[in-house]
Amino acid sequence: MKCKKENVIIKILIIEDDPELALILTNYLTRFDMEVIGAEDPYIGLSMLTQHKFDLIILDLTLPGMDGLEVIPKIRDMTNIPIIISSARDDITDKVIGMERGADDYMPKPYDPRELVSRIKTILRRANGIEDNKAPEKQELFVADFNARDIRFKGKSLELTGAEFDVLSMLLRHINASVSREQLLYESEHIDDDSSVKNIDVIISRIRQKIAKIDTEHIYIKPIRGVGYLLTNRV
């Protein structure tokens, strides 16, 4: 007789000072085998990390006592579990700083809870894939040595300019997830901050051409309408 397989419970910590929103998200996420613990105060949230094991954190930025951007490095001192920023602040600087300090995704409020569920599952699949990749079945399509500023595609080194390397590196760090043109622009060391986001389209086109010299059959950098680009390692 076959035993029924039990659903794996995803444990989530929500650090959110809006109790109504926290309750809405908690009630919705529990429908998808997610156990949610909430904390309205960032200090309480950090304390909970020492008492419970979580799979993911949903973090607001505007919090009492400590800004969410300051909370991120404190979390990172304790754990590497994924962090999704959930914030009504739409300043691109907040997003850039949050990602630089260790957040994995940024969702501007308001958003559909269904999208949050999708983002959680995508991030956890990616995180689990990294942790379980001790014996890969096949070689990665893209391999990067960020210190040496070298990116290889299918074993061949791509000859990239400084700006191209910055953009492709950012896409690689968010493999199979969308990255905005603004983030690609402002986080590049070799693109002026006052440049137009349209310059990103030009750089992406050049990178595609260099990848196409090795593989002409597939498109690996895909446009995401209204957002930016996504680099995929799936063909």
Query: pLDDT tens digit string along 62-88?
Result: 999 999 999 999 999 888 899 999 998
User: Residue 38: is it exposed, middle or buried by C-beta count within 10 angstroms (0-12/13-18/19+)?
Assistant: buried
Mean pLDDT value of segment 9-35:
93
One-letter amino acid identity for 110? P
Provide the token pair at 145.
């040595």
What are φ and ψ of residue 96, in 5° steps?
-60, -50
- Average confidence score pLDDT of the chain: 87
Residues 231 and 221 sit within 8 Å (Cβ to Cβ): yes
Please report the pLDDT score of residue 139 as a whole number.
Answer: 59
Question: Residue 136 pLDDT more than 50?
Answer: no
User: What percent of the chain is predicted at pLDDT more than 90?
Assistant: 52
As a whole number of angstroms, the distance between CA 170 and CA 183 comes to 9
What is the separation of C-alpha 129 from the centre of its chain, rounded to a whole number of angstroms?
14
What is the separation of C-alpha 126 from the centre of its chain, rounded to a whole number of angstroms?
9
pLDDT digits (tens, 9 = 90+) for 137-187: 455 789 888 888 899 999 899 999 999 999 999 999 888 888 899 999 888
Please report the pLDDT score of residue 235 as a whole number.
Answer: 59
Cβ neighbours of residue 18 closer than 8 Å, sequence gap 6 or more: 60
What pLDDT band is residue 132 in, cutting at 50, 70 and 90? very low
User: What percent of the chain is predicted at pLDDT more than 70?
Assistant: 91
Please report the pLDDT score of residue 133 as a whole number.
Answer: 42
- Alpha helix locations (H) across the chain? 19-29, 42-51, 68-76, 92-100, 113-131, 162-173, 181-186, 198-212
Domains of the chain: 10-131 (3.40.50.2300), 142-231 (1.10.10.10)
Question: Residue 3 pLDDT more than 70?
Answer: no
230 or 192: which carries more pLDDT confidence? 230
